[in-house]
Structure 1
Amino acid sequence: MTVHLIADSAADLPKSFYDDNGVTFIPLRVLLDDKEYDDLVTIQPLDVYEAMRNGKAPKTFQPSFQLMKDAFTNLAKENQPALYIAFSSELSGTYQTAVMAANEVKEEFPDFDLRIIDSKCASLGYGLAVKHALELATNGNTIQEIETSVKDFCDHLEHIFTVDDLTYLARGGRISKASAFVGGLLNIKPLLDVEGGKLVPLEKIRGKKKLLKRMIELMKERGRDLNSQTIGISHGDAEETADEIKRLIEAEFHPKDIVVHMIGSTIGAHAGPGTVAVFFSGKEKR
């Protein structure tokens, strides 16, 4: 590849993706039972979901400044153009830390062409942007061409997701504890979106069937050329529900491809087990 790619664990791609494609991997951190772990390295998503089901409340942290700087320095020594597509700056400080680390590295290696994109995306939506960049890099596109294309890709990427238990969002301050309690009693599930990199509530829907139907309706309303897209589905240890919505998407839109992955420890620690999300390119800029 003409450009070296960098991404972090909030992209919710399997570790094998990074290893097999030569993409530099930056793990976010998880604190569980007073021990600190690296996402997808020393802790796996299922460990986090099991802990949450047992009443534990894991916390997450951005990568350390030194980890970022070391990764960038190693790439600078190779003197190959590099592009870091980062987790949304509205949901983590990862992007800001990466910018600071890059500035220090560039002082020592002024000719190193390192660019950092704030994807304003999360989970497999962010992951699809990384996969898009990889395809361009593999085809020999320049760093400028990849940067421009990835920014446009991210600008149009829709995130539609729901959580199974509102308690986890309440813990993170996304909704009130009272709303979580009432929602649990009435089997009310929220539909959420990501706009400008931030979580935004869309609707509240009662019942799983209505919820999945509404997700398909929103895809129809917002999507562009869905039959020619790669659609992403991520889930918090909810493979059965992910398979169900995959079948609905296949029947309705006949997309080019559907990629399904488990939500990683970092995002899963906030959304909780049972979360399901779909990602696709929309008609309008987010």
Structure 2
Amino acid sequence: MSVKVFTDSTSYISKEMQEELHIEIIPLSVHFSDESFIETEVDYEYFYQKIEKTGEIPTSSQPPPGQFFAAFKKALSRGEHVVGIFISSTMSGTWATALHVKKQLMEQYPEARMEIIDSHTNCMALGLQVVEAARVAKAGGNIDAVVKAAQYIHDRVHFYFVPETLEYLRKGGRIGTASALLGTLLNIRPILTVDMAKGMTHLLEKARGTSNAVKRMLYLMEEDHQKYGLKEIIVHHINAPEKARQLRQTLVDRYALPVSILSIGPVIGLHTGLGTIGMVYVA
């Protein structure tokens, strides 16, 4: 029996990859005081410029249960198994809602199989789990093989990123005003990562300036390269295409691997802001 793979919009998987691997996206939303957007439909540049102009940090919300119900039911009615891989359950209620909908649908389709997986992360650290699962599904793998493929990436994926400014972290309540001011004066850049055991973003290290922070991220990647080898590399950015191109070129020159560039969208980007640069890789 074939397997249909679902994820949410915070994976930021390219449209080309979504279409090629038949991945279905269930989008989250973002909300300003005067307008709201489905994440997959908003223009990223407009969104981030609005934050810059108004100073307002918007909120985000998970997809409504009905959206999961309709999407999952459509796949089940075709006789497909369902695998859903979603943003960390400590970052959003998306996974919990999907799990609740699964319980409802299993009463209607008791012979079906549905696996709702907590990725413990976001962006392409989530996306690569989804992509690997979808590759196995497209190749005809059963649901157990699809889940195993996602878990393989989960256990080996790394995500590091550096905000250009501490202002978004301050406005979002993730760093105090005094710390933000001192960090700005000293040109401090936090290197952030996602703890794959707890599913939470945390401070890994601090560096003086973006350049030094990026060098440190590259050093951490090289350590993993020497120990384990590398499988895939993604460069992430928030409205910083030139920085992303420079980092991509460094990685292409260093490793014999394709390196993709993908923008981070509003739901995740509203926490770190314009100029953020990062990378995801599988060791």
The equivalent of 2:109 in structure 1 is 109
The equivalent of 2:276 in structure 1 is 275
Give yes or no for contact 1:28–1:63 (8 Å, CA) kept in 2.
yes
Gaps of 5+ in 1: none
The equivalent of 1:231 in structure 2 is 233
Task: Report the Cα offset of residue 16 of structure 1.
Answer: 4.6
The equivalent of 1:201 in structure 2 is 203
CA distance in 2, matches of 1:131, 1:250: 21
Please state whether the residue corresponding to 1:83 is helix, strand or coil: strand
* AA matched with 2:275: G
Task: Report the Cα offset of residue 225 of structure 1.
Answer: 4.3
The equivalent of 1:49 in structure 2 is 48
CA distance in 1, matches of 2:97, 2:35: 22
Aligned positions of 1:208-223 closer than 5 A: 208-223=210-225
Task: Report the Cα offset of residue 114 of structure 1.
Answer: 1.3
Please state whether the residue corresponding to 1:259 is helix, strand or coil: strand
Please state whether the residue corresponding to 2:70 is helix, strand or coil: helix
Please say if 1:263 is aligned against 2:264: yes
Aligned positions of 1:33-72 closer than 5 A: 33-41=33-41, 43-54=42-53, 55-72=55-72
Change (3 A) 1:278 1:255: farther
Task: Report the Cα offset of residue 178 of structure 1.
Answer: 1.7
The equivalent of 2:248 in structure 1 is 246
Task: Report the Cα offset of residue 58 of structure 1.
Answer: 1.5
Please state whether the residue corresponding to 1:202 is helix, strand or coil: strand
Task: Report the Cα offset of residue 51 of structure 1.
Answer: 1.3
Task: Report the Cα offset of residue 89 of structure 1.
Answer: 0.9
Aligned positions of 1:113-192 closer than 5 A: 113-192=113-192
Please state whether the residue corresponding to 2:271 is helix, strand or coil: helix
Please state whether the residue corresponding to 1:164 is helix, strand or coil: coil
Task: Report the Cα offset of residue 20 of structure 1.
Answer: 4.6
* AA matched with 2:277: V
Give yes or no for contact 1:85–1:118 (8 Å, CA) kept in 2.
yes
Give yes or no for contact 1:231–1:255 (8 Å, CA) kept in 2.
no
CA distance in 2, matches of 1:229, 1:169: 31
1:189-230 CA deviation, whole Å, 9 max, x = no partner? 10011112111101111122212211110111234544x522
* AA matched with 1:47: Y
Count of residues in correspondence between the two structures: 279
The equivalent of 1:28 in structure 2 is 28
CA distance in 2, matches of 1:214, 1:244: 15
CA distance in 2, matches of 1:151, 1:264: 24
CA RMSD of aligned residues (A): 1.7
TM-score, L = length of structure 1: 0.92
* Runs of 4 or more consecutive aligned structure 1 residues displaced over 6 Å after TM superposition: none
Task: Report the Cα offset of residue 187 of structure 1.
Answer: 1.3
Change (3 A) 1:3 1:173: same
The equivalent of 1:84 in structure 2 is 84
CA distance in 2, matches of 1:99, 1:171: 32
Task: Report the Cα offset of residue 163 of structure 1.
Answer: 0.6
* AA matched with 2:85: I
Gaps of 5+ in 2: none
* Same amino acid, percent of matched pairs: 30
CA distance in 2, matches of 1:129, 1:183: 34
CA distance in 2, matches of 1:273, 1:222: 28
Please state whether the residue corresponding to 1:169 is helix, strand or coil: helix
CA distance in 1, matches of 2:106, 2:37: 29
Please state whether the residue corresponding to 1:34 is helix, strand or coil: coil
